[in-house]
Amino acid sequence: MATKVVMEALSPTMEEGQVTKWLKGEGDKVASGDTLAEVETDKAVMELVARGDGVLRKIVVPEGTTVEVGSLVAVIGAEDEDISSFAVDTAVPPAVESSDGGAADVAALPTGAPPVPVSGDSDRVKATPVARRMASERSIDLAAVRGSGPGGRVVKRDVEGAVATPPAAAITGPAGFEDVPLTQIRKTIARRLAESTGPVPHFFLTTEIDMERVVEARTALNALDEGPRVSYNDIVLKVIAAALVEHRACNAWWQGDHIRYFNEVHLGVAVAVKDGLITPVLRNAHLKTLRQIAVEVRDLAGRAREKKLQPHEYTGSTFTVSNLGMLDIDQFTGVINPPEAGLLAVGSIVEKPAVEDGQVVVRKRMRVTMSCDHRVIDGAVGARYLQTVRRMLENPLAIVW
């Protein structure tokens, strides 16, 4: 029995994928689980694996072509099996724009048949009601679950499997949290603010922090010449996480009908990549040492730039940090990463005149701006959080206290 190889949804938001490289050729023996091709998604380069045993009989989508999720890309079958019944399917898949901006080269494809129209609901996740209910109860993103039913329908056993498999489970988001029902005033605030300023009603809080002692601390740490070098950003991340533990009110997700306050801090760290931006997640940042943070952030950022992150590595953050200091930005405002309620935009450390004991002195200063979702965080709440961040950065020993 021949097996269709289709473009799979390899990330929660993937709608199409580009076959960048075929690792198996027509006529090669393949076993279930073998990597067939590399596929570039909207977020990363992922592997497309075989879902059946046999011989890779036909490659339908050539390298460099982008097709929608669900499109047939190849056929696996027995060596002598008649796969002509796939004739209809082996027509040119619905090509979307290829990465070089032009339309895919239809003439180069194996057959000259016209493109197969895509049904209108191809991007809708097909799942049975019980699968939907279980996924919702367990906070599983159905789009990330591979459906084993007809036409890729997600059925109960797929959701059960998703719970049992750690990588998929990571997409479910942090485990330690408390759901707090919305009070009437909170509902009213949410409705009125959202009505007035759009889906996420932002407001911004800026403070300037004296970084003299952070500079001293970093110099001292790196003078030890042991292990990884610690960056200012690492120290800032550590402080942001430590301060969030003290201010759970800012470590939260807006959930429409309730607010989810997290006990764990998972920091999204905005990383600029070639054609955009991605926020890998520093999990349990509040529990990690500066050294761990230094190593992990470098690894995540490096792989983010190579598009090698797995979906669970860029989902489930509870608060996001964006640092443009290295690009000489003194101060900026970031856009919140929903459903998170807060984001801290970090500027560069600059020497500037400051007033100390009535004297003008030159100090190393850094400006940070917190973007708050007003439905979750009120002005004074955000301000008190920033006060803690500032207190800790001005006295970095606070983070070990």
Partner 1 sequence: MPILTYRDALNDALREEMERDPDVFLMGEEVAEYDGAYKVSRGLLEEFGDKRIVDTPITELGFTGIGVGAAMAGLRPVIEFMTFNFALLAIDQIVNSAAKISYMSGGQFRIPIVFRGPSGAALQLGSQHSQAFDSWYANVPGLKVVAPATPADAKGLLKSSIRDNNPVVFLEGEMLYNTKGEVPDGDHLVPIGRADIKREGSDVTIVCYAKTLAPALKAADTLASDSGISAEVIDLRTIRPLDTEALVASVRKTNRCVIVEEGWPFSGIGAQLVDTIQREAFDHLDAPLLRVTGADVPMPYNKKLERAAKPTPQKVIEAVKQVTYST
Instruction: Give the whole-angstrom CA distance, residue 210 versus residue 163.
Output: 46
Q: Hey, is 360 helix, strand or coil? A: strand
Residue 351 burial by CB count (10 A; 0-12/13-18/19+): exposed, middle or buried?
A: exposed
Answer yes or no whether residue 138 interacts with partner 1 by CB under 8 A.
no
Instruction: Give the whole-angstrom CA distance, residue 249 versus residue 270.
Output: 22
Residue 3 burial by CB count (10 A; 0-12/13-18/19+): exposed, middle or buried?
A: middle
Residue of the chain from 42, 52, 94, 132 that contacts partner 1 (CB under 8 A): 132
Instruction: Give the whole-angstrom CA distance, residue 149 versus residue 155.
Output: 6
Q: In which region does residue 173 sit, left (phi positive, over 0), alpha (psi from -120 to 50) or beta (all else)?
A: left
Shortest Å distance, C-beta 153 to partner 1: 8
The beta strand positions in 104-201, using DSSP E, are 177-181
Give the interface segment with partner 1, choosing from 124-132, 200-208, 258-266, 278-286 (CB under 8 A): 124-132
Residue of the chain from 69, 131, 265, 293 that contacts partner 1 (CB under 8 A): 131
Answer yes or no whether residue 155 interacts with partner 1 by CB under 8 A.
yes
Q: Hey, is 13 helix, strand or coil? A: coil
Answer yes or no whether residue 2 interacts with partner 1 by CB under 8 A.
no
Q: How big is the site for partner 1, counted in residues (CB under 8 A)?
A: 12
Catalytic residue among 247, 266, 286, 374: 374
Shortest Å distance, C-beta 212 to partner 1: 59
Nearer to partner 1, 132 or 307 (CB): 132
Nearest to 126, CA basis, from 95, 159, 93, 155 = 155
Nearer to partner 1, 159 or 243 (CB): 159
Nearer to partner 1, 150 or 176 (CB): 150
Answer yes or no whether residue 307 interacts with partner 1 by CB under 8 A.
no
In the annotation, is 312 catalytic?
no
Cα angle, residue 244 at apex, residues 195 and 263 outer, rounded to 5° = 90
Which DSSP letter does residue 264 get?
Answer: S
Answer yes or no whether residue 133 interacts with partner 1 by CB under 8 A.
yes
Answer yes or no whether residue 130 interacts with partner 1 by CB under 8 A.
yes
Answer yes or no whether residue 151 interacts with partner 1 by CB under 8 A.
no
**Matching residue, tokens 């290295």:** 326
Nearer to partner 1, 162 or 200 (CB): 162
Residue of the chain from 12, 62, 94, 149 that contacts partner 1 (CB under 8 A): 149
Which sequence positions are flagged as catalytic? 374
Binding site for partner 1 (CB under 8 A): 128-133, 148-150, 155-157
